[in-house]
Amino acid sequence: MTYCPYSFFDYRMEAGDTFASLAGKFRVSERAILEHNKGIQPEVGRRVRIPCACGGCTHGAFYAIRKGESLLQIARRNGLDLTDLLKANPYLNPGYYIPGQVIVIPPTRIRAQSDTYMVEEGEGVFDVLRKHRMDYTTFCLLNPGVNPMALKCGQQVCVSPRTETSKKGRWYMMRQGETLLSVAQTHSIPVSTLLGLNDHLRPSDFKEGTRVRVPNHLAET
């Protein structure tokens, strides 16, 4: 049987874990767990595969849960209700999930409002994201079946409608260890908004010492 590469996530077994108890923790069948771990005996410290819902690869973009992150935070950041997120992940136990666990981010209404864009010579996915002030997850939602890391010149993709982002804001000097994602999270704004306020910068330009623009009421001097 061939599995979608995101149809499972790795889990390291803890004391007291059995395949039956893991099935209960992650709301999947014990049979599905056994199919993903043929010939493996449960023991403390062993890495096993926990299956996700079948066919998940056709139903949206994928996201790996980060440490300290809640499902509600993930849902709100992607313009979803928590109910919508749980419906898209019937295998997900809202009372027990771990960092690194891959979940499906379901399509949103943005798809119906999308525009078409032809990739230009030399452009990669992050050039397209910066030009159209999009985030990576939105691109994946708008382009199911497209490999974002293998875009070709002349390829047509769906993008968010161009909107003018206000350049009002204050300057923020990035500190050691900060990245595009961490600055957006610190100031509670989407990555796409931060890129829109700094469309002269590429994602890789967001590093220590770079001066970036952030919304007035959240900026630091």
**Domain-wise residue ranges, the chain:** 8-105, 109-159, 170-218
Whether 193 and 165 have beta carbons less than 8 Å apart is answered as: yes
Structure tokens at 119: 């990739």
17-21, 164-168, 198-202, 203-207: lowest mean pLDDT where?
Answer: 164-168
Q: Which CATH architecture has domain 170-218?
A: Roll (3.10)
CA 122, CA 131: separation in Å to the nearest integer?
Answer: 14
Residue type, 49: R
- Domain 8-105 belongs to what topology? Membrane-bound Lytic Murein Transglycosylase D; Chain A (3.10.350)
Q: What is the pLDDT of residues 175-208, one digit of tens each?
A: 999 988 888 888 888 777 787 777 777 777 888 8
Fold of 109-159: Membrane-bound Lytic Murein Transglycosylase D; Chain A (3.10.350)
- 51-82 pLDDT tens trace: 764 434 444 567 778 888 888 888 887 777 78
CA distance 133 to 156: 17
Compute CA 84 distance to the chain's CA centroid, rounded to the nearest angstrom: 16
